[in-house]
Amino acid sequence: MKKGLVIIGAGIIGVMTALNLVEKGYRDIVIVEKKYPGSGGSFRCATGIRASFTSLEHVELMKRSIQLWPLLSEKYNIPYARHGYVWLFTREEDLEMFRCIVDFHNKNGVPTRIVSPEEIAELVPTIKTDQLVGGVYDPLAGKASCFKALLNPLAYILRKGVKLVESTTVYKVLIESGRARGVLTDKGVIEADKVLVAAGYGSKKILRESIGVDLGLRNIPKHALITEGYQGVFKPLLIDWETSSYIVQVLHGGFLIGSSLPEEPDKPPRSRLKYPVKAVNVWIRYFPWLAYTNIMRYWTGYYVMTPDHHPLIGPLSTVENLYIATGFSGHGFMMSPAVGEVMANYILGEKPNVPLVEHLLPDRIIKGRLVKEIAVFG
């Protein structure tokens, strides 16, 4: 088989890139997926979407994504709601630091604001606020169904002629005379003019095998659980900054909780009894009623981290026609609409329509041009 473009990985990033290409009339695409679409990070995510970051690159990328989410929702029937985020602070020094961050947001078009414990109680029915010194409200933030966001556009592009090859592992990108010419898989070679590595946790290994470096990628195991579903209790996603934990009532009603445990990079993620204990203990301080809800499911997955917590997006300068979109450091779902758009720009030889993403080219890691972000949690 010879194609125009091979996309490695049928996660949200590979699918959104293919969708943008199809919408621009480019359909000569095969997506090669090791297991099944969504089986990596994309179906394990907490569905959160926000622009309240601390780097201009992230803010600009997310402002564009937040413009696109309602359009995608309408066109591809993806449940999406702009329900906001509330960042919760128990320590004065954290609230002080976030005053500067809110200032930075407001100067750059993100309308966050500091809120008092009383306002938090209005935004978040049933919350106990006695240990809070304040919070930050991000009204642009929201959530969407991670299942429909991937499966509905995928069904559309398959109808338009994109090919999907499942249960097939890519070992490496084939490179000849400094140019990508296809991929080697466990089922043979697929030749192509261009290759996009969008393989989430698998990208590190593929890059090492193909170009000899892994660009500083680290797969960090993460944990999440979900309770039985209830009718709407509170709308915003909440972040407990002190414990790096979050809770969100997802659109189908369950309370999804994420909280970080110390983990070694690149180890297979495994369930740990410690996890539900920690997650529940963080959130029953705020919602004592949570102690009486049943946990339905507990799962693990990876955050694919880069040294500066920003994704690697764009072409690789050392290999012609090889593109990378990975290392989303826990934010790939929310960014996928804008990333799909800029990756389609790059693949078609256009300028990215979010110009600041040029600071996020994969080569920056080798050149030591890192970009700073501190608002990472979970």
Binding site for ligand FAD (CB under 6 A): 8-14, 32-35, 39-42, 44-48, 169-170, 198-202, 206, 222, 224, 258, 301-303, 326, 328, 330-334
The two tokens of residue 162 are 């994109």
Strands (E), the chain: 2-8, 29-32, 48-49, 80-81, 85-89, 113-115, 134-138, 142-144, 163-165, 170-176, 179-185, 188-197, 218-229, 237-240, 245-249, 254-259, 295-305, 312-315, 322-326
- Taking the complex as a whole, the smallest distance from the CB of residue 169 to ligand FAD amounts, in Å, to 5
For ligand FAD, give the closer residue by CB, 123 or 279: 279
CB 153 within 8 A of CB 15: yes
For ligand FAD, give the closer residue by CB, 79 or 117: 79
For ligand FAD, give the closer residue by CB, 53 or 137: 53
For ligand FAD, give the closer residue by CB, 217 or 224: 224
For ligand FAD, give the closer residue by CB, 136 or 304: 304
Element (DSSP H or E) covering residue 204: helix 203-211
Residue 142 DSSP code: E
Nearest Cα to Cα of residue 319 among 176, 192, 213:
176
d(Cα 3, Cα 230) in Å, to the nearest integer? 47
